[in-house]
Amino acid sequence: MEVTITIDGKQIKARKGTMLLWAALDNGIYIPHLCAAREETESPPASCRLCFVEVEGYPAPVTACTLPVAEGMVVNTSSERVNRLVAAGFELIMSNHRLDCKNCPANGNCELQRIAKARKLRLKPKNLPVLHRDLPVDDSAENIVYDPSKCVLCGRCIRACRNHGQSVVGFARRGFERVVTTCGDVPLGESGCDSCGECVKACPVGAMSLKKK
């Protein structure tokens, strides 16, 4: 069943129950996001906290990736409250991302750059110091280079690895130490990774990249 909703004054149609984020993206309305995945309809991770929007009738901004569309919904993707919240979340992510666009393989094709451009945000955090984690770059796999200091923990590579039939990488530890890694933290080259490159395609930033030939 189709429903009609209004996003930023524009009327769009979407299938009832679709998450608002996908309804917006399918209609050419950009909402920043890193962790969302279409196939995770049951329980979206909702971890990056960048897709906040304001919906009429809701007391506070909500994440678009977790909100099923309903008839007559009126959405504002960039109210002042939303903008402040997204800016804060983005600054937090950037305070934990090794910023090296010039040498980064994702330069020009990076979701962080896209968000910064779309929302007129600085890539370099203004108020917050950079939190270093001192994690070494792993270039042990045949084709793939993994730089955990650039990882934004969106989990897309983990899904891609599993969809490919492998399960080499996963989340481990918790809190600030949370990391995408292999079982026992062994280098990718020793983990059974077949260098299929699916994780590289999935990575929205430059954390997983192909080796330069």
Partner 1 sequence: MKLTEEEKKTALIITRQILKEFNGNRGNLIPVLQQVQNKLGYVPPVAMEEMAAHFDIPAVDVYGVLTFYNQFRLTPPGKNQVKICMGTACHMRGAHTIQEAWERRLNIKVGETTEDREFSLERVACVGCCTMAPVVVINEQVHGKVTPTRVDGLLFSYQLDKQQTKEGGTE
Partner 2 sequence: MSKGSSTAKAAYAKLQEAARQNWEKLREKPLILVGAATCGRAAGALQLMEEIRNEVQRLGLDVNLLEVGCMGHCYAEPVMVIYNEGFPPICYGYVSEGVGARIVRDFLVDGDPGIEFALAALEPNEMLPTFTDFPRGMHEKKIVMEHCGLIDPQNIEHYIATGGYASLVKALDMAPEEIINVIKSSGLRGRGGAGFPTGIKWETCYNAPGSEKFVICNADEGDPGAFMDRTILESNPHLVVEGLIIAARAVGAIKGYIYVRAEYPLAVQRIALALQQAREAGLLGQSILGTNFNIDIELFQGSGAFVCGEETALIASMEGKPGIPRHRPPFPAVSGLWSKPTVINNVKTLSYIPHIINKGADWFKSIGSEKSPGTAIFALAGKVVNTGLAEVPMGTTLRELIYEVGSGIANGKKFKAVQIGGPSGGCLPEEAMDTPIDFDSLTKAGAMMGSGGLVVLDEDDCMVEIARYFLDFTQKESCGKCTFCRLGTKHMLDILEIITKGKGRLEDIDLLVELATKIKEGSLCGLGKTAPNPVLSTIRYFREEYEAHINEGRCPSLMCKDLIAYYILPDKCERSCDACVGSCPVEAIYSNEDRIKVIDQEKCVKCDSCMVACPPQYKAVVKLSPPHLVAEREKGKE
What are the φ and ψ backbone dihedral angles of 18, each rounded to 5 degrees? -60, 145
Q: Which two tokens stand for residue 86?
A: 């997204």
Look at residue 128 and give the partner it binds from partner 1, partner 2, none, a contact being a CB closer than 5 to 8 Å depending on partner kind: partner 2
Beta strands in the chain (DSSP E): 2-7, 10-15, 52-55, 62-63, 74-76, 144-146, 169-172, 179-182, 208-210
Q: Which two tokens stand for residue 160?
A: 């891609």
* Strand 208-210 to 62-63 pairing: unpaired
In the region spanning residues 44 to 73, those forming contacts with partner 2, defined by CB under 8 A, are 44-50, 52, 60-61, 63, 66
Look at residue 137 and give the partner it binds from partner 1, partner 2, none, a contact being a CB closer than 5 to 8 Å depending on partner kind: none
Amino acid at 141: A
In whole angstroms, the minimum distance from the beta carbon of 144 to partner 1 comes to 16
Is the Cβ of residue 30 or residue 171 nearer to partner 2 in the bound state? 171
* Chain positions contacting partner 1, by CB under 8 A: 162, 167-174, 181-184
190, 181, 44, 152: CA torsion to nearest 10 = -120
Element of type H or E holding 5: strand 2-7
Residue 177 touches partner 2, criterion: CB under 8 A: yes
Could you give the CA distance from residue 189 to residue 89 in angstroms, rounded to a whole number?
A: 34
Is the Cβ of residue 61 or residue 155 nearer to partner 1 in the bound state? 155
Size of site (CB under 8 A) for partner 2: 33
Look at residue 46 and give the partner it binds from partner 2, partner 1, none, a contact being a CB closer than 5 to 8 Å depending on partner kind: partner 2
Look at residue 27 and give the partner it binds from partner 1, partner 2, none, a contact being a CB closer than 5 to 8 Å depending on partner kind: none
In whole angstroms, the minimum distance from the beta carbon of 96 to partner 1 comes to 19
